Amino acid sequence: MKKSKSIAYLLLLLAAATQAAADDDLAVTATDPKGTDVPVAEQDLEAEMQEMGPAAVRDPDEISLDLLDAEFRRVGMLVADRAYDEADAVAKRAIEMAIRLKGPRSAEMAKALTNLAIVQHYTAQYNAAEQNFQSAIDIIEDNEDRLNSQLLNPLKGLAASQLEGGRPDLASSTLQRAVHVTHVNDGPHNPGQVELLDSLTEVNVRMGLHEEANDLQETVYALNVRQFESDSVELIPSLMKRAQWQHRIGFINEERATYRRVIRIYEANFGKAALQLIRPLVLLGKSFSYLDMSGEQAFREATFSGGEIYFKRAVRIAAEHPDTNWEMQTVAALALGDHYMHIGNTPRATQTYLSVWDLLSEDEARLDMRREQLEGNMVLKMEPLPQYLGNANPEVAPNDGDPVLQGSLSLTYDISIRGRASGVKLLEADPPEFLEIQKDAQRELRRRIFRPRFSEAQVVSSIGQMFTHTFFYRLSDLEALRADSSASESEESE
């Protein structure tokens, strides 16, 4: 998670142009006693904390809502700074204060439990987080009702912990309930439900329910259309997000149509050489490196060469526009170089990358981007590996006597100057019995396309790269594999 002044509550993000962005998909914030999201890490808050001092050293009779509010905000500030151990201590202290001040079944207690659960979520204590989110929900239901808007924060938190704990099926039900709460309180077309629908989309993507994910994003788009005219520039952020989701679920033809609409809107409002066109042109070009997986008659051939015209147009705009800058030129040129890597034209790719190297070497202020973009390896093309093995599939009915466990595997490999992996070797697998996922991981690494590493204006190979994949499995599947292995060994010994 990136440190920020204010952490958005449980938005299952997607900067989906890259797969890595999909993995960093939730964030949380503390709440104050009034139930509002609290900005954290502000300078005035830090000064206030220093002035008040730790609430634990104050006289218990002096505990007040203001002090409890300060502790809630302290939790938020510590979470923003990733000081989780201290945040845990402060969150637990706030629970004690809430009990003394208002009692164990108070609204303040519900918020204190929610804050503790947030910290537990960040430290991967998902079971404990679920229990505390659920306790907060129970208190709110007792004090208010099952449709009160105060339920939204703990419901979002509960869904996030259920998802990361390997139960997307439960996360889906929890988020659907949260959406229903917003409908009851704010109407069926309220814009506040968009975050929840995005989160629910993420859950469906992880479960492989791509049609359902697409339907949810169509709903999000319809909610945005209600606010803006169909060809308004204000609609573009929604269209861009829609295209990113379409990319993630493999609806590539629809993604291209969405980017083309963005381009038409920009052209109509700013002209055909507008700098705003660079990003959608680049993303439209990248879409031609992927297969369309939607519908029964799925488009099964990636037309790699089809994107070149869009990359070249982006490069031309970035080079010729009077208001251009080196960052825009870098983005466009890197996209063109990456395209050449995709089609296997290594000489042209290298030539394009070296032109970017020269551009980023002209000024010291540009060196950070040079290090980020060219002095390390970047994955350009990858396919997701299965996250759920066997009966751990979230569509299979849960069984408390057959727990879902987490496994992992680690591999090492080299990257050539052609941007391909070689020397792929398995280092460790825990547990080692799941051989199929080990083969899938090695196969996927060999198929990947990388932007090669540059040093001193020369393309170089990279040795000893590491790759780790985590997955979920059921204990019964592991026991079955071990039984089969033992039986095979017995037969061989006979």
Specify whether 410 is located in the same domain as 313: no
Specify whether 49 is located in the same domain as 162: yes
pLDDT band for position 491 (50/70/90)? low
Specify whether 212 is located in the same domain as 354: no
The reply to whether the predicted model has a pTM over 0.75 is no
At 489, which helix (H) or strand (E)? helix 475-493
Highest mean pLDDT among 4-8, 293-297, 434-438: 434-438
Rounded Cα distance between 285 and 308, Å, is 6
The domain boundary, picked from 317, 348, 375, lies at 375
Q: Give me the pLDDT at residue 429, please.
A: 97
Specify whether 93 is located in the same domain as 166: yes
Q: Give me the pLDDT at residue 61, please.
A: 53
Q: Give me the pLDDT at residue 232, please.
A: 87
| pLDDT tens by residue, 441-458 | 999 999 999 999 999 999
Q: Give me the pLDDT at residue 104, please.
A: 93
Specify whether 11 is located in the same domain as 145: yes
Q: Give me the pLDDT at residue 128, please.
A: 95
CATH for 32: 1.25.40.10
HSE of 293, CA atoms in CB hemisphere, 13 A: 14
Please tell me the total count of domains within the chain.
Answer: 3
Highest mean pLDDT among 16-20, 106-110, 401-405: 106-110
Q: Give me the pLDDT at residue 308, please.
A: 94
- Structural domain range at position 213: 1-227
pLDDT averaged over the chain? 84
Q: Give me the pLDDT at residue 191, please.
A: 87
Specify whether 356 is located in the same domain as 408: no
Tokens of residue 34, six digits: 């009034």
Rounded Cα distance between 231 and 217, Å, is 19
For the ranges 71-85, 221-235, 274-288, 404-418, which has the lowest average pLDDT?
221-235
Specify whether 393 is located in the same domain as 481: yes
Specify whether 414 is located in the same domain as 286: no
Contact 416, 405 (CB under 8 A): no
For residue 213, which of 456, 27, 14, 407 has the smallest C-alpha distance? 14
| pLDDT tens by residue, 153-167 | 999 999 999 999 989
Strand-strand pairing, 458-460 and 453-455:
antiparallel
| pLDDT tens by residue, 246-271 | 998 889 999 999 999 999 999 999 99
Interval 290-297 mean pLDDT: 68
Q: What share of the chain is helix, strand, coil (3-state, %, to 5)?
A: 60, 10, 30
Q: Give me the pLDDT at residue 490, please.
A: 67
Specify whether 414 is located in the same domain as 429: yes
Q: Give me the pLDDT at residue 62, please.
A: 61
Specify whether 366 is located in the same domain as 431: no
CATH for 395: 3.30.2420.10
The domain boundary, picked from 351, 375, 399, lies at 375
Q: Give me the pLDDT at residue 179, please.
A: 96
Rounded Cα distance between 380 and 382, Å, is 7
| 283 class by beta-carbon count within 10 Å (0-12 exposed, 13-18 middle, 19+ buried) | buried
Interval 338-364 mean pLDDT: 96
Return the percentage of the chain with pLDDT > 70, whole number: 83
Return the percentage of the chain with pLDDT > 90, whole number: 67
Rounded Cα distance between 109 and 181, Å, is 21
Specify whether 73 is located in the same domain as 202: yes
For the ranges 117-121, 278-282, 292-296, which has the lowest average pLDDT?
292-296
pLDDT band for position 291 (50/70/90)? confident
| pLDDT tens by residue, 225-252 | 887 767 789 989 989 999 999 998 889 9
pLDDT band for position 295 (50/70/90)? low
Residue 41: pLDDT over 60: no
**What is the DSSP secondary-structure string of 228-279?**
S-TT-GGGHHHHHHHHHHHHHTT-HHHHHHHHHHHHHHHHHHH-TT-GGGHH
Tokens of residue 174, six digits: 């929890």
Specify whether 284 is located in the same domain as 391: no
- Tell me if residue 307 falls in helix, strand or coil: helix
